[in-house]
Every structure is written in structure tokens, then in C-alpha cells.
């Protein structure tokens, strides 16, 4: 469009504000909140039809291969900007993220695939750095990078590099971890400080500083899950609160299991720098993405032992019990604020922090 | 860059011709030819290090889960332009392509993941059409679309939609199909007419017409492979000649197995419209992508029976024996031309037809 063009180019026009009913895709459809959920429920699932029978909104699908082998299978595409951020880069994120999604069904991750969309003109050295991070993260998590694919698109049709990883793991016998298993009386545990990944990416993207440098918490969680399963195979729910943050994960669990969730705001570990950044930016730390944390819902009789096992691992050293599952207000998450009031926790509608992972 | 800027913008500059040694990614790195191979060998494999130990250049990785279960695992990202073309669309391609990659190790495909990168402003209706094609193709191939992910990027950072699919299947007992198993004396069979997909996409992209409309051959090949395995589990090699065409597939087999491959140009089924289009465009039909064909390398004693089983399936009705594996000129593919001469077949260096799949 040239500057002398008087008319609005409706062809290329898009809505800056996420709309619930839109005939065009908006950024919010990728935010992991309500709009993402609607896209799945109202577009993908009806379109996929019988092919998606039995698909559930979990981090990974669990498939029974018929010979006693249960496979957890998951995928994520990573489009984070910038490609390198404090504490990590898109490559490390792409490995840890899918390792964690597999781990959230209690599976031991085995192998990942890697699918690259490279933008013409990308520096080969930067791609090498990203791939090296992927190799290092895969070795650290004990998974293989066993198959892959690379496509190249013209300049202006990509953004440096997008990485898809898919992967699978084996679910141990007797393990059945999924959102629907949350039960009234269960205890809610979070594995450490929240909000670090989102604030780290945002700070470097916007050139903001919040006193101390905030670094992404990107980390593999499979060892932590293994330590928890060593206490009991009867963990009920595990989720990694990435896009949409802790709020989106808890809301989804409450909805799927038809239970209430209540937690105490003061129990949730929020680093000072994250709190300061969120205050400055008008964000709720509960909505900010994490990449090395999990939320666990466990039977009350094992909660203390699970917490102890989590704290014994460096990645879970700041674990804390934050709340309970209730039989009141099913489908709703309620937080008791530091002022003693209660408020309902919503998942974000659309995209607070675009392209965070 | 404004029009008044006198200097060349080296920052955004990229080489229009694929260079062997470049510090920037060029389109040819995504072409499935020599440059793609070099990127894998000289960048990805060294960078992945121990995480990629045992990775081989096959359509899918085969992993032994230790309890007698062997899994074939594969991924591809689809960036084809236009999104809809004669005979199919990106959604159908994304399902069939990964179903076929899994099938090329003799595995029965079970489930796929779907990873979308949507460009802000994409028409929801078009996404619905693509997703519907995916559902239909998955049902036709008998696979589930069991887990997925959607990201949205800003306008000008994508191209409507990119789709990644990854998937796995079970390798039947006794089946060991891989490029290294090609043996001198083996027979080379192609499952039908070549060049249709590439020419179909190119024709609509360039607005060209070649007399009759050329339609993509996109199709699932798992039933065809099952019919072949019913004749013998001792198939040696299967490949689907996508990017880089039949030439790239045969060259790769010759290199990996350290054998020669010889075939007769007149035996290769090439539709008249493909031949005409390739003549017009200066392309070699052997280099043009297919999306519903396979090349099989089988022991001579079963070749006729396998051919018969292939021809009994509609997707393989035009199957033909085209050549032989030899112990002369290992690593090299030689074609006998219609004029009686012989020439060495090279895989393409880079990108003849960008973004064909």
C-alpha cells in the first residue's frame, strides 16, 4: 500500500482487538486462553470429525497400543520472539516444552522430532546456536532427536526460525494422570516461582529493566515427575502452566473435572521482580507463561510426601502447597487475596503476551 | 529501506543463487536436494550431537521400545503455496505426507499430531476448509489426529498457514525396510506416474496451462504398502519421492547402500502433460515432487508378485518395474535414455520448485 492510496485496504485488514466471533484469525487465537479454546472446540474438532474422536484438552494424548504399551504423544510449535532471551533460546524451549508436555501424563519421554521453518536470509550461525541448544537440552532430558524436517520460506514469510517438536514417551503401568481426575479434597502444589519466562521474554523484547534481570525458567521436568511418581503412582493431575499461566491451567482442570479450585494468593511464589514487572505492565502474574514449572493435584494423604520429594530436586526446590480442590462452585477457580477477599480467577481471553513460546 | 537510500541494505540481502558455503540460509536449503543434505550433515547433526546418535536419512525413524514394539516416527512441516491447488490442499497434503513417511518403513500408521502456525488475518473459513481436508484424509488413511497446537504470528511473519504433522506407527514383526538394505540384483519398482504434484502446484502458482489440467497425486500409501507386505515381509527399501523427486530418492538409496542403480527412462511412467510442462519449464520430471507415489526395491524372486499386488490397488494401478540395483558404480544412479545413451542421474542441488510441499 503506498502513501498516496486513499482507500483502506480491506483485503489485508485485520482487527487489532480479539473478537469472539470473527471471520479472520487474530493474535488472540494463539494465546492459549479462551479464544484458543474456542478455535479448538468450534473449528478444529468439528472439522477433524471422527479423526479427532476421543481427543481431550491435555498436554499430551495417551494412546494404548494394545499390548500393554501406553504412549503419551504431544506437539508444540515455538514462535517466540526474540529467538534468544535471558535464560534460554527458542531451541532449548522447543525441547523442554515438549518434554514437559509428555511428562504431564506421567510418561517417561523417549524421542522428539524436529520440524524447522527457516526464513531465507537467516544467519547460519544463529541456526547453529539454536540447534546446539536443542542438542544440549535433549541430552539433559535424556531424549533423542531422532527425525526431522526443514523447510525454507522467502523473506517476509517467516521470522527467522519457527521450530516444531513432537515427541512421545511411555506411560508407566498404573499411572493415570489427567485433568478429569481432580477430586474434592485434593491438594494443589506448584513447583516453584511463577511468571519468570513471560517476564524474561517481555523484558528483552520491550527493552525494559526491572532492577534484577529476570531469566526464563525453561527446564525439563521429567526427572521431577519421576521423583514424584516414586512417592506414589496415584498423582491425579499434572499441568505445565505455559501460555495463559497458572490461571489457565487451573481453570481448565476445574472445568474438565467439574470441581472447584481454591487457593491463597500469598502461597503462590512470585519473585519480586516478576511482581514489579507485572505491576508496571498491568499484567496478572497468574496469567504469565512459565516454561519450567508444573502444577500438581494430589490426594491429601500423600501431599506432604510429594512436596518433600519435589523440594529435594533443584528444579522443584521452591515448591509450595497453594490450595485445595473443592466440591463447591464446580468449574470455577477462586483465589483468596492478601486482603482477605476472594475473587474468581478467569483464564485470559486472548493474547496478553504474544509469541511468548 | 526508502527509495532515497543510496546504499545497498546488506543486512536484509540474500543470495538469489544457492551457494554451497553460505553464512545465510537460502531457499535451496529447503529443497530436499544436496543443500538440504549438507544442512543436515554439517549443521544439524553436529549441533544435536549425542542427541541425534543413530539418526539415519530415512523418511521415518524406527525405535525399539524394548518390549518387542517397534515404532516408526516421522515429521514434516508443510509450507506449500498456494494453500489450495488442483487435486488437494495443504491440509490433505500434511496428513498424507506424514502417513506416507511412516509407511515407508513398513509401519502401520496410527496417530498424527497437528501443529499450526497461522498468520494473523487468515480467513477462518479457509482454515476450516483446510482442517476439514485433514479430518477427511485422516479418516481415509485410518489414523487419528490426537494432539495439536496452534500459534498465531503477525501479518508479514507467515503465509496464511503452515502445518506440521508428526506421527507414529507400528512396524510389524519381521519387517526391516530401509535404504541400506538395497542389494545388487534387486528390482526397482515405481508405483505410478511421476511429476504430477509438482506440476499441479506450479501450474496454478504461475497461471500456466498445459492442455489438460494436471492434478496433484496426493494420496495415502499405507494400504498399498500393506498389500505389498502381504506378498512378502522381505521388501528391502521403500521411499516416497517427494522433494527432489525420483532422482533424489534413488541417489540417496545408492549412496546409503553403496550400490549402483540403473533404470530405463522409457520404463518410467511420465504423463504427457507433465512431460510437456517440464519441457516448457526446463525441468527434469525425475526431479519433480510426487505426493502419492513410492519407489520400492525388492528381491528379484518376488518382484513380479509384488508388482501384481501393487497394480491390484487403484493407487498403484500404473506401477512399473523401471530398473535394477547393481554392484557396479556404487553410489551412482544411471539412466538409459530413449536414445540408447546412458547418463548419470544427480539429485538437484537446491530448489527447482520452492515450497512445493
User: Which of A134, A164, A220 to mutate against chain B (most B CBs within 10 Å)?
Assistant: A164
- Chain A residues with beta carbon closer than 8 angstroms to that of B79: 117, 151, 153
Q: Give residue-wise pLDDT tens across range A99-143.
A: 999 999 999 999 999 999 999 999 999 999 999 999 999 999 999
Does residue A82 have a cis bond before it (omega within 30 degrees)? Answer: yes
Contact criterion met (CB < 8 Å) for B135 and A47: yes
CB A231 within 8 A of CB A310: no
Q: Among B190, B220, B200, B202, which residue's Cα sits nearest to residue B292?
A: B220
Q: Give residue-wise pLDDT tens across range B100-115.
A: 999 999 999 999 999 9
Output the pLDDT for position B20. 55
Place of cell 538469489: B16
ipTM of the complex in this document: 0.92
Query: DSSP label at B116?
Result: E
* Confidence band of B1 (pLDDT split at 50, 70, 90): very low
* Confidence band of A211 (pLDDT split at 50, 70, 90): low
Instruction: Give the distance from CA B256 to its chain's centroid.
Output: 17
Q: Which three cell numbers mark B91?
A: 491440509
CB A43 within 8 A of CB B129: no
User: Considering all CA atoms of chain B, what is the largest pairwise distance in Å, rounded to the nearest integer?
Assistant: 72
Region B320-338: mean pLDDT is 96
A151 versus B67: which is more confidently predicted?
A: A151
Contact criterion met (CB < 8 Å) for A79 and B43: no
Region B255-261: mean pLDDT is 97
Output the pLDDT for position B21. 63
Q: Among B62, B57, B78, B80, which residue's Cα sits nearest to residue B249?
A: B57
* Confidence band of A20 (pLDDT split at 50, 70, 90): low
Contact criterion met (CB < 8 Å) for B152 and A118: no
Contact criterion met (CB < 8 Å) for A77 and B117: yes
Question: Closest approach of chain A CAs to the CA of B26, in angstroms?
Answer: 5
Q: Among B238, B207, B223, which residue's Cα sits nearest to residue B310?
A: B223
Question: Closest approach of chain A CAs to the CA of B178, in angstroms?
Answer: 14
Whether the model clears a pTM of 0.95, i.e. scores above it, the answer is no
- Domains in chain A, please, with CATH? 57-170 (3.30.1330.10), 179-345 (3.90.650.10)
* Confidence band of B347 (pLDDT split at 50, 70, 90): confident
Instruction: Give the distance from CA A326 to its chain's centroid.
Output: 24
Measure the CA–CA gap between A221 and A195, rounded to whole angstroms: 17
Amino acid at each position: 500500500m503506498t502513501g498516496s492510496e486513499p482507500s483502506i485496504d480491506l483485503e489485508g485488514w485485520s482487527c487489532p482487538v480479539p473478537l469472539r466471533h470473527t471471520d479472520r484469525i487474530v493474535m488472540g487465537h494463539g494465546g492459549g486462553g479462551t479464544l484458543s479454546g474456542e478455535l479448538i472446540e468450534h473449528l478444529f474438532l468439528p472439522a477433524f470429525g471422527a479423526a479427532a474422536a476421543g481427543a481431550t484438552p491435555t498436554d499430551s494424548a495417551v494412546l494404548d497400543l494394545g499390548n500393554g504399551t501406553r504412549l503419551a504423544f504431544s506437539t508444540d510449535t515455538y514462535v517466540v520472539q526474540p529467538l534468544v532471551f535471558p535464560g534460554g533460546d527458542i531451541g532449548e524451549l522447543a525441547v523442554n516444552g515438549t518434554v514437559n508436555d509428555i511428562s504431564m501424563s506421567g510418561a517417561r519421554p523417549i524421542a522428539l522430532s524436529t520440524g524447522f521453518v527457516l526464513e531465507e536470509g537467516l544467519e547460519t550461525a544463529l541456526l547453529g546456536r539454536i540447534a546446539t541448544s536443542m542438542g544440549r537440552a535433549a541430552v539433559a532430558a535424556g531424549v533423542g532427536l531422532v527425525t526431522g524436517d526443514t523447510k525454507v520460506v522467502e523473506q517476509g514469510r517467516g521470522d527467522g526460525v519457527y521450530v516444531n517438536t513432537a515427541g512421545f514417551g511411555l506411560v508407566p503401568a498404573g499411572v493415570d494422570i489427567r485433568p478429569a481426575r481432580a477430586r474434592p479434597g485434593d491438594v494443589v502444589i506448584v513447583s516453584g516461582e511463577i511468571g519468570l519466562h513471560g517476564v524474561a521474554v517481555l523484558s528483552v523484547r520491550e527493552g525494559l529493566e526491572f532492577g534484577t534481570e529476570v531469566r526464563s525458567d525453561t527446564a525439563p521436568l521429567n526427572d521431577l515427575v519421576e521423583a514424584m511418581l516414586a512417592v506414589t503412582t496415584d498423582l491425579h493431575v499434572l499441568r505445565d502452566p505455559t501460555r495463559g499461566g497458572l490461571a489457565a491451567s487451573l481453570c481448565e482442570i476445574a472445568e474438565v473435572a467439574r470441581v472447584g479450585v481454591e487457593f491463597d494468593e500469598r502461597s503462590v511464589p512470585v519473585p519480586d521482580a516478576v511482581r514489579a514487572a507485572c505491576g508496571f505492565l498491568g499484567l496478572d502474574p497468574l496469567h504469565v507463561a512459565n516454561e519450567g514449572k508444573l502444577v500438581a493435584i494430589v490426594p491429601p494423604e500423600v501431599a506432604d510426601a510429594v512436596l518433600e520429594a519435589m523440594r529435594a530436586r533443584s528444579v522443584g526446590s521452591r515448591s509450595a502447597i497453594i490450595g485445595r480442590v473443592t466440591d463447591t462452585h464446580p468449574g470455577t477457580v477462586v483465589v483468596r487475596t492478601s486482603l482477605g477477599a476472594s475473587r474468581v480467577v478467569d483464564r485470559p481471553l486472548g493474547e496478553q503476551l504474544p509469541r511468548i513460546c
